[in-house]
């Protein structure tokens, strides 16, 4: 192993032990140098971990130093060869990025401290009612029941009757049956889902979904291993207005973003107006 690296590992370990005992370490330990740029020990990630042997530690350290040196050499070469105009543009971009990050963090802090983030059901419903034409479906959606059963399942005729039923007791009986025999039992009777999700489960395409939904409240199909039973409880066709239940999260996101925009606008105006009052802001 490289003797210098072994020595370096030993120094790292000694420094680590000394720091743990509370002793001060006022002098920084140089590890490598490229031109006038020095890599110090405290700038390196914790590559020497407890339980790692010297050979592996040395390889990790050497690899890090090599990468650091290549990057520094490339940086110095670039700085020497790029035109002053380009370097000035980079400086301006860095300043603008710094400004944006500082402003963003301040706005975020103010929003966390002062912005109301609670959305009431009434506010959500009112926004939806006022803007419902903005929420147009781009796909067919359904409330449906999907069951997948092995072909040899018992009493299939009785199951078909239960699937068609809207009776609460029948649904409980169907759930009990499916818990024992079904490979899949998905009850979306209270929640809107894309019709495509049903076709994926069927492993077949329904070319004219609109016509299918208009004509079917119950559908049955099978393959070589399973039988699929579907009950369509309700549906909405593409290009129609989406139900609030289906777009509730989208509505909440829009309201929150609008509130965020107004809060930031108010914050900026308040900060702008303060120096105007005490004449600390002047335009020449």
Residues 127 and 256 in one domain: yes
The CATH number of the domain where 189 resides is what? 3.10.50
| Model confidence band, residue 25 (pLDDT cutoffs 50, 70, 90) | very low
Q: What pLDDT sits at residue 256?
A: 94
Residues 157 and 170 in one domain: yes
Note whether residue 87 is domain-resident: no
Distances (CA, A) of 104 to 25, 58, 99: 37, 41, 8
Q: What pLDDT sits at residue 206?
A: 86
The total of other beta-carbon atoms located within 10 Å of residue 44's CB is: 18
- Which residue, among 163, 198, 189, 191, has the nearest Cα to 177 in the 3D structure? 163
Element (H, E) at 6: helix 3-20
- Which residue, among 62, 61, 69, has the nearest Cα to 39 in the 3D structure? 69
Residues 170 and 191 in one domain: yes
Q: What pLDDT sits at residue 49?
A: 57
Residues 15 and 142 in one domain: no
| Model confidence band, residue 3 (pLDDT cutoffs 50, 70, 90) | low
Buried b or exposed e, range 145-163, using 16+ CB within 10 angstroms: bbbbbeeebeeeeebbebb
Residues 193 and 147 in one domain: yes
Note whether residue 90 is domain-resident: no
Residues 209 and 152 in one domain: yes
Residues 277 and 193 in one domain: no
Residues 105 and 246 in one domain: yes
pLDDT in tens, 225-259: 899 999 999 999 999 999 999 999 999 999 999 99
R_g of the chain, CA atoms, integer Å: 34
The CATH number of the domain where 123 resides is what? 1.10.4030.10
User: Which domain covers residue 27, as residue numbers?
Assistant: 3-81
| Model confidence band, residue 51 (pLDDT cutoffs 50, 70, 90) | low
Note whether residue 247 is domain-resident: yes
What domain count does the chain have?
Answer: 3
Q: What pLDDT sits at residue 48?
A: 62
Note whether residue 38 is domain-resident: yes
In the predicted structure, residue 15 carries a pLDDT above the cut 80 = no
């Amino acid at each position: 192993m490289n003797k210098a690296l072994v020595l370096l590992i030993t120094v790292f370990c000694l420094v680590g032990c000394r720091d743990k005992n509370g002793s001060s370490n006022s002098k920084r330990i140089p590890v490598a140098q490229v031109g006038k740029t020095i890599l110090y020990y405290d700038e390196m990630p914790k590559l020497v971990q407890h339980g790692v042997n010297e050979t592996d530690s040395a390889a990790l350290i050497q690899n890090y130093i090599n990468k650091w040196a290549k990057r520094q050499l490339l940086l110095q070469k670039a700085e020497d060869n790029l035109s002053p105009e380009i370097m000035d543009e980079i400086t301006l971009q860095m300043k603008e990025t710094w400004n944006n990050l500082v402003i963003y963090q301040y706005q975020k802090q103010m929003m966390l401290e002062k912005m109301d983030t609670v959305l009431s059901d009434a506010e959500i419903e009112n926004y939806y009612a006022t803007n419902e034409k903005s929420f147009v479906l781009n796909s067919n959606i359904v409330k449906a029941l999907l069951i997948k059963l092995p072909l040899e399942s018992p009493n299939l005729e009785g199951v078909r009757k239960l699937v068609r039923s809207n009776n609460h007791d029948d649904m409980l009986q169907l759930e009990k049956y499916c818990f024992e025999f079904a490979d899949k039992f998905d009850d979306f009777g209270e929640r809107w889902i894309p019709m495509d999700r049903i076709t994926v489960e069927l492993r077949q395409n329904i070319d004219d979904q609109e016509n299918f939904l208009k004509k079917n409240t119950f559908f049955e199909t099978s393959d070589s291993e399973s039988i699929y039973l579907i009950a369509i409880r309700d549906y909405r066709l593409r290009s129609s207005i989406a139900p609030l239940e289906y777009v509730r999260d989208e509505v909440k996101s829009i309201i929150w973003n609008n509130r965020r925009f107004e809060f930031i606008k108010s914050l900026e105006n308040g900060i702008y107006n303060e120096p105007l009052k005490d004449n600390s802001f002047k335009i020449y």
